[in-house]
Chain A
Amino acid sequence: MSTTTKQLPTSVPRYYSGEPSQLATHHLMVSQGRGCTEQARICASLNSSAVPMTHLSLSDYPSSAELQRAMLSILREATVGLRIYLLGNEDFIWPLHALARVAGLQPEEIQVIPSASCGHAIYCVHCSTTQHGALDSPHTCTECGVVLEVRQHFSRRLGAYLGVCADARQPYAQARS
C-alpha cells in the first residue's frame, strides 16, 4: 500500500530540509553524532549564515541527560530570535523538541532533521521498550517477542511510532507457531 504525504495522519511528522532560518538572530544546533554528510552540510550552512551559531553534540557529553541540561541552560539565557536545529534519531530529537517547547520556542522555530540511516523508532506498547526498525512490515519486539503492527501513529513525547500486537490471537511471543 503506498501512501503519499497528503494521506498521512496528522500525528506523523513531516520533516523539512534543514535550511537555516533567514529570520534567526542566533542558531543552536544539537546533534546526536558527528560527521554524517547531512549534518556536515547543515553545519556548514549554519556557520556561513550571518548570525552566530552554537553546536552541542552528544559525543561531547557523558549522557543524553547531561546534553539536555546543557541545552536547557542555553535556552534559559536565550532571547526571542533563536532558531534550533535537532539532528539525530527520532527518539533523540523529539524529547529535545519537547524541552525546547517548554522553554518557550514556537514549533516553527524548531527544525527536526532525522538521520535516515538507522530506520525509525518503534515503541512496543506491551513492554514499553523503544527500538529501531522499518515502518512497512511487522516488527518482532526485541524485548518481549510479540509481533507488532507498526501503526501510523507517532508519539512526539516518545519520538516513536506505536507498535501494537499484530494478531490478537497471538498476543504472546511463546504462542507463535
Chain B
Amino acid sequence: MSGFIPVRVTDIRQVTPVIREVSLQSLGTALPKFSAGSHIQVLLPNGKRNAYSLLSDPLDTRHYRIAVRHQENSRGGSRYVHEQLQVGDELRIAPPANLFPLHNEAHLHILLAAGIGITPFMPYCTELLRRGAPFELHYAYRNCISDAYVAQLRDLLGERLHCYDSPQRRLDLKHVLSNRPLGSHVYACGPQRLLDDLHQQAASLGWSDSRIHSEAFSAAQSGQPFSVQLLRSRQQLNVSADQSLLEALEAAGVEVPNLCRGGVCGQCQTGYLQGDVEHRDHFLSPDEKAASLMPCVSRGCGQPLLLDL
C-alpha cells in the first residue's frame, strides 16, 4: 500500500446532532486530487482505522473534508471523532481510492442518498454541475437528526433536489425509477435495506444490473473475542471484541492490502486452512468462503482459525 499522508485537523463542525464534519489539511505537499465518490482511510490515534467518503471538491488539493456519524454501536472510531478529536490534532490518512465512481456513459444520473449516505454525493454534485451533466438527487433523512447539508444542497441544486423527510414523506423507489430515459443510471448510498429494495424494485421495472451502482455503509462490527494462528509467520494473535481481525493483523505488523475496510472491495481476501468463520462480507461467493475470508469484517468462531499468512 502506498505511503500514508500526514494531515492536521483544521476545522470540526457539528453539522447535525449526530454528524460531525472534519476538515483535514496536508502537513507536506498538496493533497492528491480525487474522483467523485472516493474515500480515504483515516488512522486515528486510538489505533482505529476507518474509511470515510470525501465530501470536498475533487479539485481542492488544500483540504479534504469528511463527515462522520456517531454510531451507537461504535467500536471506537466514530466515538473518538465525536468525543476526542480536536482542531490541531495530527492524523495520518491513506491516499484516496474510489469504489463508487461516476459512470461516464450515463445520460442521466439519479442519485439516492439515505442519511449519512449523502457524503459521496457531495463531490458527485460538484462534479456533475461542473460538467453540466443532467442529474437529480433524492435524499431521505430524519429532520434535525441526519439531515446534513440539506440547506446547502437546496441552494446548490434547486429543483434537482428531492427531499424525503422520514417518516412524513417516504422515498418511493418505484416512482423514482419509472419511465426513465434509456441512458439513466442510478447510484445509491445508504443502509443495506435501501440497496436491497433498490435492486428488487429496479429489476421489476426492467433495469439491468449494470445501470445500478451502490455503496453500502460498511464498517466492521464488534463480536466475540477469538484467536488466530498465522501459518507462515508462526504467530498467534488474540482479537478482542471491538477489534477487527484486520486491525489485529496490522497491530502485529502483518500488512494485508485493503481499501474499504467494510467487506465490499475484496482487497484483503485471505486464505484460511482450518477453523470456523463467521463471514460478514458482501464480496466472497459461497464457494470462495470455504477457503477464504475477509479479515476487515469477518471473525473467527468455534474452532480456532489458521490463516495462510
A positions within 8 Å CB-CB of B: 23-26, 75, 78-83, 101, 103-109
Contacts and interface: CB of A to CB of B under 8 A. Distances in A.
A104 B184 CA distance: 7
Nearest to A108: B208
Contact of B206 (A82, A101, A104, A107): A82
Contacts of B151: none
A108 B182 CA distance: 13
B133 to A, nearest CB: 13
Contacts of A80: 177, 180-182, 184, 205-207, 211
A107 B210 contact: yes
Contacts of B210: 106-108
Interface-centre pick from B106, B182, B207 (highest chain A CB count, 10 A): B182
B170 interface: no
Interface in B67-109: 105-107
Contacts of B183: 103-104
B251 interface: no
A176 B298 CA distance: 69
Contacts, number: 49
Nearest to A84: B182
Interface residues of B, number: 18
B142 to A, nearest CB: 30
Interface of B: 105-107, 177, 179-184, 203, 205-211
Contacts of B211: 80, 106
A25 B182 contact: no
Contacts of A25: 205-206
A109 B208 CA distance: 7
A79 B208 contact: no
A117 B65 CA distance: 61
A72 B205 CA distance: 22
Contact of B107 (A23, A82, A83, A104): A104
Nearest to B108: A104
A105 B206 contact: no
B208 A104 contact: no
B181 A104 contact: yes
B182 A23 contact: no
A102 to B, nearest CB: 9
Nearest to B204: A23
A68 to B, nearest CB: 16
Q: Could you say which of A78, A80, A81, A106 has the most chain B C-beta atoms within 10 Å of its C-beta?
A: A80
Nearest to B211: A106
Contact of A82 (B105, B106, B177, B182): B182
A107 B208 CA distance: 10
29 contacts: A23-B206, A23-B207, A23-B208, A24-B206, A25-B205, A25-B206, A78-B181, A78-B182, A79-B180, A80-B177, A80-B180, A80-B181, A80-B182, A80-B184, A80-B206, A80-B211, A81-B205, A82-B182, A82-B206, A101-B105, A103-B182, A104-B106, A104-B182, A104-B184, A106-B208, A106-B210, A107-B210, A108-B208, A108-B210
Closest 9 A/B residue pairs (Cβ): A81-B206, A104-B183, A104-B182, A25-B206, A106-B210, A80-B180, A79-B179, A23-B206, A106-B208
